Each structure stands twice: as C-alpha cells, then as structure tokens.
Structure 1
C-alpha cells in the first residue's frame, strides 16, 4: 500500500476495520439483548440511534476538524479510548433505567427515560463514527481503502456477532464487544508508533485505562433487568418467593429459551369453561422472555384430556386418522392432542434447533419424550420454507406459530415480519392439502375483533388470488369466549361436513360464526360477545358477511383496525394500526386511548420523528455556527443532495433486500447476517478498486447510479421466479445463489461514497466531515422510514423509492463545481 500521506499504512486500515467490526457487532448485540429485556421493536430504535451517532460525528468534525487535525494522533487515540470506555459504561446505565414502554406518551417521566436511553446508546456509536470520519477526513487520498475497510469490517462484524451469541448470554453480549474496541485502539497506536516526538508515557496511560476497562467489562456482569410485563419477569419474581424454579436456559442468535416449573402455572391455551378435567402438571416455556407455550409433564395422551375442550380440537373431529402438520409447534402440547385425537402421522416443524434439542433430550423425562414417538417426525426448519420445499400432502395443517396470546403485548410485536401468515403462504399450504384436508388456526378474540378478521381476510384472498374457487364455500369459523378457530378447506364444503361441523361445535359449546349456508337471523350466541345494535350476532359474524358479500374495501376502510391481508411484500400480520382511527380511540377510551394503540408502530414513528428532527438540526449546525468558514465553499447544495440521497437510497434497498432474501434462505438470523455481510463486503470491494479505475469521479457517480438502478430493476422483474426455481436447493446452494445475486449491485453501492469524497477532495475538502454527517443522518431517517413505508406500501415500492434517490444522486454529478 502506497504511503501517500504521513503515518498512513496497513495498521491505519486495520484500525478502521476493527472499529467497524465493533460498531456493527455492538449494534446487533444490543438488539439481541433488548429482544430479551424489552421487545423486538427496540431493534429499529437501536439501528436509528447507532446511525444518529454516525451523523452527529460528522457534525462534530465539521465544527472542530480544523482544530483537531493539528494533533491528529492524540485526539484520535482519545476517541478510541472513549469508544472503548463508553461501550460497557453506557450499557450498564441503560440496563438500570426503569423504562416502561407501555406508558410512553402517558408519562412525562417515561418520555425522558426514553430520551436518556437514546442519548446513552448514542455515545459509543458517536465515538465510533468520529473515529471513521476523522480518518476519512484526514487521509483524504486513501478514502477508497478506508471506506472499504469500514464496509468489510461491518460485514465481518455481523458474522462475528452471530458466532458470539452462541457462547454468551444475551444480557452480557454488548459488553463483550469491548475487547474488539480495544484491539482497534491498539491497531491505531501501531499505525502511528513512529511519529517523531511521540509521547510514550501518555500512550501507556491511555492504553492502561483501555486495558483495565476491557478487563472489567469481560469479568463483571452487567445488570440484568427484564420488562415487568414479560412472563420471564413474573417467573423470576416467583422464583425469588420460592414458588418457581428455573429448569433450563439456552441462548443463541434465534432467542433465549427459559423453562420454569411452578405449581402456580396452569396454561392450556383457549380451553373452554365446559372443561370437566384439570390441566396436567406442566412447565412454562419462554422465548426471549415471552411465554411461548407449555410442556405437559405426562407420559400418556390420556393425561392430555384438557385439550378435548379447546377450539383447536375441532378440526380433528371433522377428519378421520389424519396426517397432521404442526407448523411452529414448541412444547409438544399439540402433538399430545394430535395423538389423543387419533392422528395417523404427525410432522412437527420448528425453526429453532436449540428448542427441538432441548425438548427431545434435556426435557425427555419431563414430557419431551413425545418428540421421540414413532408416529412423530420432527424437522428443524423454517415453517414457511418447509411449505415451499415439501412435496408431501397433509390432511390437517395447523398454524401453531400463529396461535398465541396477544393480551398484554400492547401491539409491541407489530413490527415483526411473519412470512407464515401471508396470502402467499396460505395459498401454498392449501396446495399441500389432501382433497379432504384443511388448514386450522386458533387466535385470541379482541374487542373490537382484530386478529381473527385479518386471518379471515388472508384465507379469503388466498382462495381468490390463487384459485378459481369461491371463498365462502371453503371456510368454517367457530369460537368460545376466549378464541376463534378458522378453518380453510381444499375442496368445497359439503352439506354433510356442514352438519358434522355444526354438531361438533355444539358439543364443544362453540358459537358458529360462519359456515356455508349460515343464516344470520338464526344465530343464538352461547358465549356472548359484542355485536351490532339490535342484532343477535357478534361483530365477527358482521365483519365476515361484509368482507364476503358486501364491499370489502369499504369495510376495511371503516374498521377501527387495519385488517387487510398481509402479503409477502408486506408481511406484517401483527400491524393493526390505522391513523384514521385515532379520533375514534380518543373519543371511545378517553384517558386510556394510548393503551389501545399498536405501540410498536407508535414507538417506530416517535423514533423516526425524534431522530429526524435531531438529525436536521445537527446537519445545519455547522453551516450556522461556522457561517464564515463555509461561506466560501462552492458545493454545499450538491454535497447535501448527493450524500443524503445515497444514504437514504442505500438503506431503503438494503433493508428490503434483507427481507426478500430472508424468505428464500429461511432462517431469519443467519440469513440477515449472510445478506448484510455480503452487501457490505462487496460494497467494500467496490470502494477499494476506485483508485485503480482511472476515471473522473463524476463519471463514476453516473455509472454506479445507472448500474444500481438497472441491476435492481432486473431483480424486481426476475428475482421472484428465479428464487422460486432454486427454493428446493440445499442450504449451501441457496446461500451461494444469494451471494452471487447480491454481488453486482453491492459492488456498485461501494462506488458512490468514495466518488463524492473524491470530488470534495479536489474542490472543497473542508466539506468532507459534513458530507460524512449528512450520509449518516440520511440513514437515520431512512431506517425507520423504510419500515413505515413497507408496512403501508410494500417492499417493492420502497425499493423503487430507493432507486429514485440513487437517480437523483447520479444527476447531481452534473452540478458539482470542481474549481478549488
């Protein structure tokens, strides 16, 4: 590597590489930790906060770079120290804050705690961004190599983080990045060790502080607090009282598994009041702190008699000796039910191999032996990917993954993608049914109805969009006072099957909400729930009639919740938020309106607004406070537009690609790591070759922007049928295909930033720190905004919007003034 500037060498690039490893790994570690301590939606808050630190570092450098560069080595060494120290310190403090996300906006104190949370998490990413931005600004001619080290290091950080998640409990993960941060500081010290007049005593002091902090971070466990509304917090309290005992704990990138035994725990999902038997002894099974099921501590199906009184048992009463597929089964309860109800064969598909191994082996003597039954086949695979790959047919497909309690979640799962509960997924499952087969899902009832109406919409659209059948001839819906069971059949429902359905539902004291030929006026509710005035039926029946036989779009627009079908292009089943319903909630629920909202979406919007406002203020701050300094620069407007566009466009396309290929690869954890790492590594390679191209930067901008737009449009037209062609290939082949498809467009992503910096180097070098900040702030807004837009308009439209930003970036190449 050519030593074209003082002190620049391989160690310089290595320091950027390792600080980038630490930054992306820290981001993923905090996301994993907060999935346990809080909820999944916090991941978007973390992504945005991390990027805000990057943007703010650009503002800081734009204001003070001239003063800092004269003592580059000292200041950067201090920035490395600040990065190393801030990782454990800020994480310790955030874990001690009594943040209650369900009372945001309802409590000024909680709003301040959220702001404090943001500020604390901002600090290490600010130091990390300052280090990278400072080196890019100081070593202007080496930007292609440094930016390549930044991108490749970020890609490696994703892989490193996933590996560490298998070894370290979630709550300890963030502080375990401290040694990597310290290593980056050592690399920087090595890069400047031959500087004339070097103060070795000062370096020993700084290094010793970093070493002590690193040792303390590794050896001392941070606080470990769980959101009080999570089941794990409840069982930990019972354990302190002597009323519960933790049996097992497993951790990994797919989630933290906790198993508790407690005499106070009796959980039989949706069992009706008519039950004549009590639940058996059972264990509580939790994933990331939330109750995900029970494990019956039994040896014989006769001991699972309580399952006879659940709505989930109804489809078994309509079938004879079925071959059953349980998608997303966790603790084996539904396997016991299938055995009890006469299933001939049972196939269990569970995405988490650690959970399968735990139940089959460690808990075999406590009920897990059911997974070893000769009639049972257990497959560790993503349920949706299994549907896409299998050529088997089944008499009953039960969507166990969707059978959860939603009470108390406050809509905090609304940002979670669910590719099993989409129109395309249900259509595929219906294709895998035998002629007399059916799909079943049982879901908790809300008032007004919400989840079950969305399920019904998905089932209806799966029939309408992927067959010539009439949905009303293929649907059964029944309920008790807790939950509704929805059934979708392969063949038209015969009068004999209707008669059998009505009789079996009556035996279970289930209200029949819909079956072919039902007469609304003849309905007489057993389990009375709210319905339209002066009617004897429920809102569920009312909504079904409107969706099937009236103007469905008008109903969707008028209903309090968003209950349109979720699709693969917008797989947010648990997103029920509607802006148009805010006035209705305020009027109906008064002071309690906030608790009725979908808080995951609300927090996402709050995050977007908060970070966008802060980002805007910090972007303009250098121009206001150093007006005279920047007055003579020529390229402020092109710099603002260009770096804002590439930051926004990259985030829109990257996040959407992650979703598209995650569905193809199946495993959401390893897929995200592989996809993110591929994009970043190939972008880094694209950046690294810039100095060898011998091409003026404006032309590179136009070529890169045009290539990104062209390649991505080809993807949009061909990627779905292409991926479908290889969906049955082995895991290694699917990962290889993904990498090969991502390589061309990612390579050109890496051209854009160095090309912009190259122009500034030739004209207005003082704008480089500001450009770094603009790029970071654009990503701040784009991260949550991409999710908001994809929830409303779908991934495809978000990609098209991202391409529009790249097109605008390419056009700005004609407006730069290259004179110094």
Structure 2
C-alpha cells in the first residue's frame, strides 16, 4: 500500500490512523512494527461489528495489544493535546464516487479541512510525518484539493518552504502525500526513491526531481499531476484561481471538500449533462438550483391562492406589503439560522444525526416557550435582541466549536444547548406576536400570513444549503440576521396599522 512509505521512514513510535474504516490501515501499521497504533471511533457500528460478529474474520484486530480504540471521533482525537504521534495518517476509507448527479459534493467532511490538517500537524512529534491518500481522478480534482489543503496548512503553521518538507507520489488509482515536521534528509529521500521504484509508484513532488522521472510507470498522456502539484507548491493562489475546478482549501465553516463546482463550468456541465460521468460535483449544484426553482414555483400558488380568495370579498382591503415582508422574513430567517447551526454543530457533536436531533429539539422547544411568553414581550425590541444574538453567534461560532471539541460528549451537548436556547426562545416570539397584532387589525389576513410563512420557509431551506456551499456557514447565519432585520423594519409598519 502507498502509505507504507511512512512506516519505512518512521518504523517506530506511535501512529494515529484517522478515518480507519474496517481496519486495513491499522493492520498495515501494526505489521510495519509501529509500537502503538491509535484509531478513533468515527462509526461505532463498524467497531461493534468487528468486535463481535466479524471478530474471527478480522483476526481480533481491535483486541490487538498494540492497538488502542478511542471512543472519540477523528476530529475529537486531534483536539486532545495530551499525546503526540510519530505518524498521523488520513486513511482512504471511502470508495471512489464518480456520481452523475454530483450529489456527493453537497455533503460535509470535517476531516479534510485546513483546520483539521493544522490540528494533525500540531499533534506530530518533532520528527513526525503526516500522510494523506486520496483517489486519482482525471482531470485532477480530489487529490489535488487535498494537496492544496496540505500546502495551505503548512504555510499557515509557519513552514515557509514546504518544498523541503513534502513528497507526493501516485499509483494507478491513488495519490499519496507525506509532510515531515523536519525537512527530509538526503538519506530519507534515498529511501523514498527506492520505495517508489520497487513498488511501481510515480513521484509527483520530490526534491531534485527530474522531469524524466515522472509518469514512467502509471503512464498518462501528459504528466498533469506533476505539473499541477508543482504549480500549487510554487504559485498556490494563482493556480487555484486559474484552475477549472475549485481547489480552494475547505474550512470548518465551509467543509465541502468534494464541491469542485465553479460558475465558469456552467456551459460545459450543461452541454454534457446526462451524457458523461461528472465526478467533480458539476451538476450537484444545479440540483440545488433546480430545487430552488421548484420550491419557488410551488410557493407562488400557496401565496396567491389566499390572496385571490380575499380579493373576491369586496369589503376586504388589499393585503399590505408589511404583512408579506414580516411573515415572509420570519419563515425565511428561521431556516437560514437553523440549518447552518445543524451543519456547524455536526463537528463537535460527532454525528450528523445527533446534531440534527439536538438543534431541532432545542430550537423548537425554546421557540415554543418563546411563543408562550410572547404576549408579555414587545415585538420590535425582541426582534432587535434576536438580531444582536444572531450577530454574536455568527462571529463566535467557529471559536466556540473549536473550544468545546476536547470536552466529553455530554459537555459538548450541554454547551451547545446553552447557545441554542436563547436563539430558539427569541425566534419563537415574533410569529405569535405578529399574529396577535394582525388579529386585532385584520384577522382575515391570518391565513395569508401562514401561507407566506410556509412558502418562504421551503424556499429558504434550499437557499441556506446554496449559501453554505458557496460562502460558508457564517455567511448563511449573516443572511439570516439580515432577513430578521427586514422583519424588524416590517414590524414597525405592522404594529402601527
């Protein structure tokens, strides 16, 4: 396996295998003679199966005396500063996924972000190695983005010359990159060259690499990987800007590693849609665009139908713009806050399902309490406080997530609830309060207010995903805050009339 090189260079010490899957990479590390191997529990079901039903099949791997199975997730382990490792490996456990719809590009991956790589780098010993293996795709995309992320992380940690700290090579289907805390020595580089030659790998980045050494074993028409990796190493920002696919290093606030789409691809994607495989997320974004258009088309009748019925009554005045703006803003704003909170808290709460359950339950419970208390509160001041709280959460959320990562699970859940409760409570106040004002003045408009709120909620759910993909979670929260500001302005007119 390509990652064996790390254990050839560092045959002793401790290894941390992130995203270990069913255990192939830990088995390789143990077979290489590593003194202690630690793996996280990213998927408890896999661990349970290998320790029970498949115990004999796995030869008791998880019971090996030199293997430690931590109950923490990969990112949770990286956040613990107590232990350092000689080798930290980002294992390739997910399958090759050239999906025609590009839907995989819409999923978060908090392990392949710049912050994750920086955390791993800081957990290495003085002579430690960081190893990342990703699938090879033509044109380069997945592995190239991993390389881009690695280079950006090294520069951010103070490595001014990553050329002397990194090597990269590829086989027929995968590319592997290794970063060393110390510059590679001549003896280590000789070991690297010997390993690559004996095992049929092509070097991509290597100090003093000659052009005739690349693309010799797993031959491509052009040495495109070597060219791209070298360009990313030497001119990182320019190469990212000019490359057809998005190779910008993902962040924890925008963890879409497999989202390679750029608007400049639009004509090519539309021309080849349904005709060729599109493994780079090209049409995945258009799935969201199509869904957004669909939600708008479905929402229009929901808004216009009550309006039409109301206008059939000659004694009823035309609905006011303030009603539309107020209740529409509440419907849109709620999901623009709720969805990025679910996505952001997926990192500290380990599992997306747990983040979903926690955020939904607490927000809805707190919103119910806010609705109950709303008759005692003034509408516009409550909205103003809500906007202020949203602004604070938007700014502080990334730091909050990083700070709670090392805590036990119950501590992370408890602190997440502390953040969610005031938000949910304040978001529950305006709707019921607005309905109360509307009932006093124009009770016949209440069905229309419900229709507006529901229709805009559906549209904003898709819009939240699109903003998160393009600009990140903070931008989505910021947009939600702006929408609630529109509600604050509309509430002034609503309460006057």
SS state of the match for residue 365, structure 1? Answer: coil
1:592 maps to 2:283: no
Contact 1:403–1:443 under 8 Å retained in 2: no
CA distance in 1, matches of 2:315, 2:335: 31
2:234 paired residue among 536, 546, 549: 549
Q: Summarize deviations over 1:210-256 as a string: whole Å, max 9, x none.
A: xxxxxxxxxxxxxxxxxxxxxxxxxxxxxxxxxxxxxxxxxxxxxxx
1:500 maps to 2:191: yes
- 2:349 alignment partner in structure 1: 665
Give the paired residue count: 496
Q: Summarize deviations over 1:417-473 as a string: whole Å, max 9, x none.
A: 111100000000010111221121222211101101100111011112232433222
1:797 maps to 2:482: no
- Scaled by the length of structure 2, what TM-score is found? 0.93
2:7 paired residue among 316, 319, 340: 316
RMSD: 2.3
Query: In the superposition, relative to structure 1, how do residues 596 and 571 fare at CA in structure 2: closer, same or farther (>3 Å)?
Result: closer
2:36 paired residue among 329, 340, 345: 345
- 2:459 alignment partner in structure 1: 781
Q: Summarize deviations over 1:264-305 as a string: whole Å, max 9, x none.
A: xxxxxxxxxxxxxxxxxxxxxxxxxxxxxxxxxxxxxxxxxx
CA distance in 2, matches of 1:497, 1:440: 15
Deviation at 1:603, TM superposition (A): 2.1
- 1:478 alignment partner in structure 2: 169
CA distance in 2, matches of 1:522, 1:732: 53
Query: In the superposition, relative to structure 1, how do residues 341 and 408 fare at CA in structure 2: closer, same or farther (>3 Å)?
Result: farther
- 2:144 alignment partner in structure 1: 453
Query: In the superposition, relative to structure 1, how do residues 367 and 594 fare at CA in structure 2: closer, same or farther (>3 Å)?
Result: closer
CA distance in 2, matches of 1:557, 1:723: 30
- 1:574 alignment partner in structure 2: 258
1:706 maps to 2:384: yes
SS state of the match for residue 52, structure 2? Answer: helix
Deviation at 1:732, TM superposition (A): 1.7
Deviation at 1:344, TM superposition (A): 1.3
SS state of the match for residue 442, structure 1? Answer: strand
> As a proportion of its length, which structure holds more helix?
1
Give 1:583-662 correspondences, 5 Å limit.
583-585=267-269, 592-593=275-276, 595=278, 598=281, 599-624=283-308, 626-629=310-313, 632-633=316-317, 635-662=319-346
Larger Rg: 1
SS state of the match for residue 418, structure 1? Answer: coil
Query: In the superposition, relative to structure 1, how do residues 596 and 359 fare at CA in structure 2: closer, same or farther (>3 Å)?
Result: closer
1:729 maps to 2:403: no
CA distance in 2, matches of 1:466, 1:765: 61
Contact 2:145–2:249 under 8 Å retained in 1: yes
Contact 1:634–1:817 under 8 Å retained in 2: no
Contact 2:37–2:67 under 8 Å retained in 1: yes
Give 1:235-250 correspondences, 5 Å limit.
none
Contact 1:447–1:530 under 8 Å retained in 2: no
Deviation at 1:680, TM superposition (A): 1.2
Query: In the superposition, relative to structure 1, how do residues 311 and 522 fare at CA in structure 2: closer, same or farther (>3 Å)?
Result: closer
1:753 maps to 2:436: no
CA distance in 2, matches of 1:705, 1:634: 26
The gaps in structure 2 that reach 5 residues or longer are: none
Q: Summarize deviations over 1:527-580 as a string: whole Å, max 9, x none.
A: 11242xxxxxx2111112222223x34433432322211111100111112221
- 2:104 alignment partner in structure 1: 413
Contact 1:352–1:380 under 8 Å retained in 2: no
Deviation at 1:678, TM superposition (A): 1.0
CA distance in 1, matches of 2:409, 2:274: 52
The gaps in structure 1 that reach 5 residues or longer are: 1-309, 532-537
Q: Summarize deviations over 1:362-397 as a string: whole Å, max 9, x none.
A: 211122511111111112322111211252111111
CA distance in 1, matches of 2:348, 2:134: 27
- Scaled by the length of structure 1, what TM-score is found? 0.58
SS state of the match for residue 487, structure 1? Answer: strand
1:325 maps to 2:21: no
Give 1:201-600 correspondences, 5 Å limit.
310-400=1-91, 403-407=94-98, 411-520=102-211, 523-531=214-222, 538-550=223-235, 552-585=236-269, 592-593=275-276, 595=278, 598=281, 599-600=283-284
Query: In the superposition, relative to structure 1, how do residues 368 and 407 fare at CA in structure 2: closer, same or farther (>3 Å)?
Result: farther
CA distance in 2, matches of 1:773, 1:423: 43
